[in-house]
Amino acid sequence: MSRLREEQVQFYRDNGYIVLKNLVKGKELQRLTEEYDDLFRRKNEAKTESSWVGSEQNHRVSDSPYTVKGIHNLQMHHAVFGRYLYNEELLDAMEDLMGTPNIALHHTKAHFKPPEKGAAYPMHQDYHYFPYEKDTMTAAVLFLDDADVENGTLFVWPGSHKFGPLEDFGPKEGSDFHYVDQKKYPIEKAKPVIVKAGDVVIFSYLMLHGSTPNLSSRPRRMFLAQMYDPHDKPKGGEKVQPGKGWLLRGFNLNRDATIARRAVDS
C-alpha cells in the first residue's frame, strides 16, 4: 500500500489541507464521471435535485441567476460511489492524516457548478454543521474536472484549522447555512487550490474554505466524502445521514452506543 511521505503529513498538519495528485484515474475516473452525470440527469428530470442560488458577492439570494446543484449520499444511488470510498490509496492517506486506523463515513455529497452561472460559496468551516469532540472529521474532495479560479475551484485559508471553531454568522432565517465573518476572512485573501481531474483535496473540517463563481464555459464537478474516527462523538444533535457510521477501515467499539443514540434521537 502506498503511504504518504512525512513531509506531506507535516504539510497537512501545518496547513490543514493537502492535494493528492492523480489519485483517481483511468477507467475508475471515467466510470465515476459517467455515473455522476447520469445521476444528475435523472434527478433533474425528476425535479428532485436540490440547489442553492447565490451572487458574485457570495450570498444566497432568491433572484440570482447563479446556482449550484447538489445531491447527498451518492453511495445510496449507485454502487460505483461506494466502491470509490474503499480506494486503498485514499484510505491510506486518510489514516495517515487523521492519525487513526479506524475510519467511518459520515456522509457524501456532490456539488455541480454549471458553466457560466455556477454560484460562489462563502468562506466557512464545516465544523458548525456537525461538531465532534475530538475534531477528527475530515473531508476528501474528488474533482471530476480540472478546476481553477475561473470555474469556481476550492479556496482555502492555510493554517486556519488551528484557529479552532470561529464565530458562526449563520444560519440566516429559514436556512441552515453557516459561514464566518466575510470581512475578516474574505475569499480574496484565501488561496485557490488548482487541481486536475482525478485529484483529491483532503482538509480538516476546521479549515476555512469557500469557492468562487463559475463564470467559465466549463463545468466544475466534485464529489465529497466526510470521514471521522468512529470513536469520536458528536457534541450535539445532527442530521442523521443514511450510511453514517459505515466503516471504511478498522473497527468501531462504540457501535452499540451509536445504535442506541439513534434510537433515542428518532
**Buried-exposed string 26-37: b where 16+ CB fall within 10 A, e elsewhere:** eeebeebbebbe
Nearest to 151 by CA among 222, 206, 235: 222
SS3 state at 74:
helix
pLDDT confidence of residue 13: 98
- The rounded Cα 211 to chain-centroid distance in angstroms is 12
pLDDT at 54 (0 to 100): 57
Residue-level pLDDT at 236: 82
Q: Which residues lie closer than 8 Å to 24 by C-beta, 6 or more apart?
A: 32, 84, 87, 142, 198, 200
Please report which helix (H) or strand (E) contains residue 10, including its range.
Answer: helix 6-15
* pLDDT in single tens digits along all 266 residues of the chain: 458 999 999 999 999 999 999 999 999 999 999 999 999 999 888 766 666 565 444 445 556 778 889 999 999 999 999 999 999 999 999 999 999 999 999 999 999 999 999 999 999 999 999 999 999 999 999 999 999 999 999 999 999 999 999 998 876 655 577 889 999 999 999 999 999 999 999 999 999 999 999 999 999 999 999 999 999 999 987 877 888 999 999 999 887 655 445 544 54
> What does the domain layout of the chain look like in residue ranges?
6-265
Q: Are 229 and 104 in contact (CB under 8 A)?
A: yes
Is the CATH number of domain 6-265 2.60.120.620? yes
Single-letter residue type at 140 = A
Cell of 54: 447565490
| CB distance 29 to 102 below 8 Å | no
